[in-house]
């Protein structure tokens, strides 16, 4: 009998994006000739083959691409309409060996009316025809002169090229081998209306919305297109594919930029170069599981679907035959730091918002409580540093002196000179009331009362030894708050709360109000860098803040051994114990924000981190930390995360102080984003990880 572990189907195809709920889509902008369907169909076929060779399951083309958009009154010429059908017939036959769904534009006449249509083809068959609903008839547009609207069509089927095919705006094309795949097509002006037809399709399950567009270019129009597509994809919680006409369309009165776009739930995944020479083809992978999971959570989406339940759709099922190759890389950027944007301008805006959300939260709490003093412990580490600078800005906003911040550094048995000095330097630079309390005497008294071996001189540094120090610090802070009529400001961050890296009831876990509980460690590092970069508190404070950001993350609870020579840095490394924060913040984001299974989280993390030379690091990120993580490392630390998050630490999150929510993926408050039993099991998550993630990089 074999003793080899049985790998799940996911593990056997782990490195393929199609294993993890992705579908590959393409948007094409071919060259066209005005009123030359034969040429246009040939260029459509050539780009369709390129898309299929790139493993795309969908390829979208522009509006009226088989004829060209700018035919004007030629749309009422029999010769052109006949040539379109002939070219469409040739395209249908020639595409029989192409695996992807083609969505092409063509003028088609049915029952004495010409319709501006999207024709959906797959493997030599026409699956359906979608007529345009909204015909613009203003300024440069005269479509009602040539076409009938979908609203004027009374038939649900048409005869086309010898076959009876579905006809209407209510067609949704689903794939029996791709869960969550449901495609809908609309045409240009449809998305510029208050309620696009694709809205009803999305409410009925469509996840991939296609827009065949011509859309001539004028100054500023491209940004408005992007705004429309981003907003509509976000509102519909869907992918939105957009293809605008390009080279070859008539420039008698208009010009064309060939703008191709792919959005997913408001996020831009791919965009073509505009005004480029030659044809364009953009490709990206859509995360169908992200879309379906998001819709599952959004109760208002379900309510809206119920309100418009009378707008039914017709579903047409197809089989797409996903590629079996496992060496197909994911075609989309996965940010290494989901909480920290790589783009500098976006990151600065994110930091500005996060910082001011924290300040606004603390401001309101002080105003409502009538308390004018803040008590805070300052260790010289990241979390207490950031809480302190939030407190300083809050005092400035309230018009209160910074001396009302009673800041205490409380050295213990393992406090290093570096962190202690940084704490004093920062408190002095900010102008707060700075004091030092040595907690070692009170800790020794408690250790003596406990009959702990350390009190007798033995170097026993167990959990009790560590927690006595955390408890003493918290006890002092709360009594100091009583004595000074102040508010104890919490410092614990989101990453520590997720991993349970805090002592229950004391330390970073408990306070009167916490400004950091919704901010992960990776973002705190950049918030401090943003404070430095914007010089919020002057050069002296900025210099100390930089030193703090560059210090090894440590709880500083265990002292150095007698034989250790470098005692300027902490003896403990937090990340050596619980995992690198960049990885654990990544795992946190995709586990809680989207509810992905562990194997998908591992796949995304490996994609983002397996090649340090692939870029994607925010500027200013230390070169020494720009490292790669292989799949075994990702799997190891993801297992640690799952065990800590689901098995051992929820009881700490069930009892946390008030704190403002900062990001969409960043709150574990039981009163907000995360309600979970304190006695749940981690077994399903760890079992899926073990069975579905290989032990090597493939």
Helix, strand, or coil here: 59? strand
Q: Assign residue 123 a region: left if phi > 0, alpha if psi is -120 to 50, beta otherwise?
A: left
- CA-based torsion, 523, 500, 427, 513: positive or negative: positive
Residues 521 and 230: their CA atoms lie apart, in Å, by 30
Domain chopping of the chain, boundaries: 17-318, 344-692
pLDDT in the model for residue 58: 98
| pLDDT surpasses 70 at 631 | yes
Count of other CB atoms within 10 angstroms of residue 542: 19
* Selected catalytic residue, list 59, 71, 100, 188: 188
CA–CA gap between residue 43 and residue 49 (Å, rounded): 10
Q: Which of 645-669 are b and which e, b meaning 16 or more Cβ less than 10 Å from the residue's Cβ?
A: bbbebbebbeebbebbbbbebbbbb
| Interatomic CA distance for residues 66 and 39, integer angstroms | 8
Cα–Cα distance measured from residue 258 to residue 31, given in angstroms and rounded to the nearest whole number: 10
> 166: how many CB neighbours lie within 10 A of its CB?
19
Mean pLDDT of the chain: 94
Question: pTM for this one?
Answer: 0.94
Is 132 known to be catalytic?
A: yes
- Give every CB contact of residue 254 below 8 A, 6+ residues apart in sequence: 70, 140, 216
By C-alpha distance, which of 171, 312, 301 is closest to 234?
Answer: 301
Q: Of residues 59, 71, 132, 605, which has the active-site annotation?
A: 132
pLDDT at 247: 87
Q: Where are the beta strands (DSSP E) in 213-304?
A: 239-243, 260-264, 267-271, 280-287
- Cβ atoms of residues 674 and 661 within 8 Å: no
- Cβ-proximal residues to 1 (8 Å cutoff; 6+ apart), any chain: none
User: Would you state the pLDDT for residue 592?
Assistant: 96
Strand 171-175 with 314-318, pairing: parallel
When pLDDT is averaged across residues 504-533 and rounded to a whole number, the result is 95
Instruction: Summarize pLDDT for 138-149 with one digit per residue, the tens.
Output: 888 888 899 999
As a whole number of angstroms, the distance between CA 593 and CA 614 comes to 25
**Token pair 């009170």: residue:** 442
For Cα atoms 297, 299, 301, give the angle at the middle one, nearest 5 degrees: 100
Strands 513-514 and 487-490: parallel
| DSSP label at residue 165 | E
The mean per-residue pLDDT over the stretch 320-329 comes to 84
pLDDT tens string 422-476: 999 999 999 999 999 999 999 999 999 999 999 999 999 999 999 999 999 999 9
Q: Is the predicted pLDDT of residue 1 greater than 70, yes or no?
A: no
Distance CA 260, CA 241 (A): 8
Residue labelled with tokens 């708050």: 481
- pLDDT band for 115, please (50, 70, 90 cuts): very high
> Six-digit token pair at 150?
């979908």
Report the pLDDT value the prediction gives residue 564, as an integer from 0 to 100. Answer: 54
DSSP 8: P
Instruction: Please give the distance of CA 239 from its chain centroid, rounded to a whole number.
Output: 14
Query: In this predicted structure, what is the pLDDT of residue 411?
Result: 96
Residue 188 a catalytic site member: yes
Write down the residue that tokens 């090894």 correspond to.
552
| Max Cα-Cα span within the chain | 103
Q: Are 109 and 81 in contact (CB under 8 A)?
A: yes
**pLDDT tens by residue, 270-315:** 999 999 888 999 999 999 999 999 999 999 999 999 998 788 899 9
Instruction: Give the three-class secondary structure for 411.
Output: coil
Q: Which two tokens stand for residue 357?
A: 């959300």
- How far is residue 89 CA from its own chain's centroid? 42
Distance spanning both ends of the chain, measured CA to CA: 25
pLDDT digit string (tens) for 117-138?
A: 999 999 999 999 999 999 988 8
Phi-psi region of 513 (alpha: psi -120 to 50; beta: other; left: phi over 0): beta
Give the residue-averaged pLDDT of 379-384: 96
Query: Domain 344-692: which CATH class?
Result: alpha beta
- Would you say 582 and 648 are in contact if contact means Cβ atoms under 8 Å apart? no
Q: What is the pLDDT of residues 18-49, one digit of tens each?
A: 999 999 999 999 999 999 999 999 999 999 99
Cα-flanking dihedrals φ and ψ of residue 518, to 5°?
-110, 15
Q: Tell the CATH topology of 17-318.
A: Nitrilase/N-carbamoyl-D-aminoacid amidohydrolase (3.60.110)
pLDDT bin (cut points 50, 70, 90) of residue 568 is low
pLDDT at 2: 45
Catalytic residue among 63, 186, 249, 466: 63
User: How large is the average pLDDT for residues 404-429?
Assistant: 97
């Amino acid at each position: 009998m074999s003793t080899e572990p049985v790998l799940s189907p996911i593990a056997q195809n782990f490195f393929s994006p199609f294993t993890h709920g992705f579908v590959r889509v393409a948007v094409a902008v071919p060259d066209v000739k005005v009123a030359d369907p034969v040429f246009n169909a040939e260029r459509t076929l050539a780009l369709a083959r390129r898309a299929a060779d790139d493993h795309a399951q969908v390829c979208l083309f522009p509006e009226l691409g088989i004829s060209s958009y700018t035919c004007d009154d030629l749309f009422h010429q029999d010769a052109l309409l006949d040539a379109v059908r002939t070219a469409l017939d040739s395209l249908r036959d020639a595409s029989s060996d192409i695996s992807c769904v083609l969505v092409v534009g063509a003028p088609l006449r049915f029952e004495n009316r010409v319709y501006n249509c999207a024709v959906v083809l797959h493997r030599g068959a026409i699956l359906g025809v979608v007529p345009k609903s909204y015909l613009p008839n203003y300024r440069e547009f005269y479509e009602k002169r040539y076409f009938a609207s979908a609203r004027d069509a009374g038939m649900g089927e048409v005869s086309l090229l010898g076959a009876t095919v579905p006809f209407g705006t209510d067609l949704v094309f689903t794939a029996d081998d791709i869960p969550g795949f449901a495609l809908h097509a609309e045409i240009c002006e449809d998305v510029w209306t208050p309620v696009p037809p694709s809205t009803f399709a999305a409410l009925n399950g469509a996840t991939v919305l296609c827009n065949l567009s011509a859309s001539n270019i004028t100054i500023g129009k491209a940004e408005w297109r992007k705004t429309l597509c981003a907003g509509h994809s976000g509102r519909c919680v869907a992918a939105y594919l957009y293809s605008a006409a390009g080279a070859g369309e008539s420039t008698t009165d208009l010009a064309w930029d060939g703008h191709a776009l792919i959005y997913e739930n408001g996020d831009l995944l791919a965009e073509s170069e505009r005004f480029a020479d030659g044809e364009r083809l953009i490709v990206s992978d859509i995360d169908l599981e992200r879309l379906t999971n998001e819709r599952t959570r959004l109760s208002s989406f379900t309510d809206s679907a119920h309100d418009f339940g009378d707008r039914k759709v017709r579903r047409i099922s197809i089989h797409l035959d996903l590629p079996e190759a496992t060496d197909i890389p994911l075609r989309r950027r996965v940010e290494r730091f989901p909480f920290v944007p790589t783009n500098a301008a976006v990151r600065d805006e994110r930091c500005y918002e996060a910082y001011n959300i924290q300040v606004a939260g603390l401001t309101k709490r002080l105003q409502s409580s009538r308390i004018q003093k803040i008590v805070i412990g300052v260790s010289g580490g990241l979390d207490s540093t950031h809480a302190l600078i939030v407190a300083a800005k809050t005092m400035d906003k309230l018009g209160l002196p910074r001396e009302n911040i009673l800041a205490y550094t409380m050295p213990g048995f393992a406090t290093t000179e570096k962190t202690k000095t940084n704490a004093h330097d920062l408190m002095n630079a900010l102008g707060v009331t700075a004091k030092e309390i040595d907690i070692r005497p009170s800790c020794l008294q408690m250790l003596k009362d406990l009959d702990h071996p350390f009190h007798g001189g033995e170097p026993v540094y167990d959990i009790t030894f560590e927690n006595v120090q955390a408890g003493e610090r918290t006890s002092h802070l709360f009594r100091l708050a009583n004595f000074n009529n102040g508010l104890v400001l919490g410092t614990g961050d989101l990453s520590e709360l997720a991993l349970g890296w805090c002592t229950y009831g004391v330390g970073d876990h408990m306070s009167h109000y916490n400004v950091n509980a919704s901010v992960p460690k990776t973002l705190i590092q950049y918030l401090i860098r943003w404070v430095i970069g914007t010089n919020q508190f002057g050069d002296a404070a900025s210099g100390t803040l930089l030193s703090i950001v560059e210090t090894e993350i440590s709880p500083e609870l265990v002292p150095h051994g007698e034989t250790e020579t470098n005692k300027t840095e902490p003896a403990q490394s937090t990340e050596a114990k619980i995992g690198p924060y960049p990885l654990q913040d990544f795992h946190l984001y995709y586990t809680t924000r989207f509810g992905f299974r562990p194997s998908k989280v591992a796949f995304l993390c490996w994609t983002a981190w397996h090649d340090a030379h692939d870029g994607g690091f925010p500027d200013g990120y230390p070169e020494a930390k720009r490292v790669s993580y292989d799949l075994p490392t990702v799997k190891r630390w993801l297992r640690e995360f799952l065990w800590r998050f689901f098995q051992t630490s929820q009881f700490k999150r069930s009892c946390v102080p008030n704190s403002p929510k900062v990001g969409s993926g960043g709150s574990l408050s039981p009163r907000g984003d995360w309600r979970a039993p304190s006695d749940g099991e981690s077994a399903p998550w760890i079992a899926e990880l073990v069975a579905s993630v290989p032990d090597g990089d493939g």
